[in-house]
Amino acid sequence: MKAIRVQEPGEPDVMKLEEMADPTPDVGQIVVQVKAIGVNPVDTYIRLGKQGYAPKCPYTPGMDAAGIVEAVGAGVTGFAVGDRVYCAGTLSGAYAEKALCDQSQVHRLPERISFQQGAALGVPYGTAYRALFQRAGAEPGETVLIHGASGGVGVAAVQLARAAGMVVIGTAGTPEGRKLLEAQGAHHVVNHHEPEHLQQALDLTGGQGVNVILEMLANVNLGHDLPILAKGGRVVVIGSRGDVQITPRLLMGKDASILGMTLMNVPKPALASIHTALIAGLENGSLQPVIGRELPLHDAPQAHRLIMESSAFGKIVLMP
Ligand code: NAP
């Protein structure tokens, strides 16, 4: 099979398409014939060797994929050769024609969801669900500000929050991104490049403040998020690319909280519950991943450059 390999940490061009032996499944493992691969910002941090758990080189990058079960190992239950599935994590790396997975990483892909959409689920939808429900404990009727809603995690969060009966305010930096959010069901959309956008969000709540903020770029926004929180408000820090100054007094007066999260920390039972809920939403049509761009697998370096640029529009996927 062909796979992208990272020979050493570095810039996108350290990723090369190479020929490799096909994987074979051991006990409890599944080999998936990959039809589409999700590109996530974390793939670029790991490639740079910055993420704190840089794998040993050479390795195949990527966590998210969708495809067809090609082989199952002894002891695998619930999956058979030919099943349509998505992978939320792999053992061998997702940027390849075939991926070896533990069976706990493999989930059934509903018929109405394409392979490209299936490749957009693991990290983005898993993160959005974890942040919204398991960290923030968001409730129907609450107002949720999704700060950076035009990308993979943000679109997922808009769909999840809307389906759960929350009032959704989304931010995006481009006109196309803002149109996308309106189409995805955000009740209100503001431009995070305009200095007054958080005042606009506060005004949209009638001055009451927002109950939950999902923050994709905390180093830029966190200090400005706190003044617009409602009493008991929660900010979940999902993404941050540097340091930030905050005024802790703004938390005290409102009994407000800042919560961190990383998908890697989600305990197995909570992760299983996330995917059960996601599959239900995919089946009933409330979740519909948006694919902004498809590139061939050998263009992985270009995909990594694109995902670190602004002007997000849903997901970037690679096609083997
Ligand atoms: P993405 O698809 O590249 O989207 C990035 C988002 O950030 C876009 O909506 C972009 O909006 C927005 N953005 C840019 N400038 C912004 C600003 N000044 N204020 C608010 N938002 C801004 O990335 P993603 O997959 O959605 O991931 C988003 C972030 O979460 C990344 O930093 C990623 O590393 C992190 N993440 C963390 C976890 C975790 O476990 N904690 C999991 C997944 C992702 P425009 O392009 O429209 O300007």
Please give the pLDDT value at position 188.
98
Would you say residue 219 has pLDDT above 90? yes
Q: Does domain 2-121+289-319 have CATH number 3.90.180.10?
A: yes
Q: For the chain, how many helices (H) and strands (E)? A: 10, 15
Structure-block tokens of residue 9: 């940490």
Question: Residue ranges per domain, the chain?
Answer: 2-121+289-319, 124-263
Is residue 213 within 8 Å of 233, Cβ to Cβ?
yes
Would you say residue 23 has pLDDT above 80? yes
CA of 16 to the centre of ligand 1 (A): 26
Q: What are phi and psi of 244, to 5 degrees?
A: -155, 150
Please give the pLDDT value at position 119.
98
Please give the pLDDT value at position 54.
79
Structure confidence at residue 310 as a pLDDT band (50, 70, 90): confident
Probe residue for ligand 1, chosen from 39, 129, 135, 153 as the CB with the greatest number of ligand atoms within 8 Å:
153
Would you say residue 71 has pLDDT above 80? yes
CA of 245 to the centre of ligand 1 (A): 20
Q: pLDDT, tens digit, for every residue of 79-105?
A: 999 999 999 999 999 999 999 999 999
* Whole-number Cα distances in Å, 304 to 40, 43, 77, 278: 8, 8, 35, 26
Superfamily of domain 124-263: NAD(P)-binding Rossmann-like Domain (3.40.50.720)
CA of 103 to the centre of ligand 1 (A): 29
Work out the percent of the chain whose per-residue pLDDT is above 70.
Answer: 100
Report the nearest atom of ligand 1 relative to the CA of 264.
40
Ligand 1, atom 4, lies closest to the CA of: 151
Q: pLDDT, tens digit, for every residue of 135-168?
A: 999 999 999 999 999 999 999 999 999 999 999 9
State the pTM of this model: 0.98
Structure confidence at residue 42 as a pLDDT band (50, 70, 90): very high
Report the C-alpha gap between 232 and 213 in whole angstroms.
Answer: 12
Q: pLDDT, tens digit, for every residue of 203-218?
A: 999 999 999 999 999 9
What stretches of the chain show up as alpha helix (H) in DSSP? 41-47, 115-118, 122-129, 152-163, 175-183, 197-204, 218-225, 249-252, 268-284, 300-307
Structure confidence at residue 50 as a pLDDT band (50, 70, 90): confident
Q: Ligand 1 within 6 A of 301 CB? A: no
Would you say residue 52 has pLDDT above 90? no
Mean pLDDT to the nearest integer, 61-78: 98
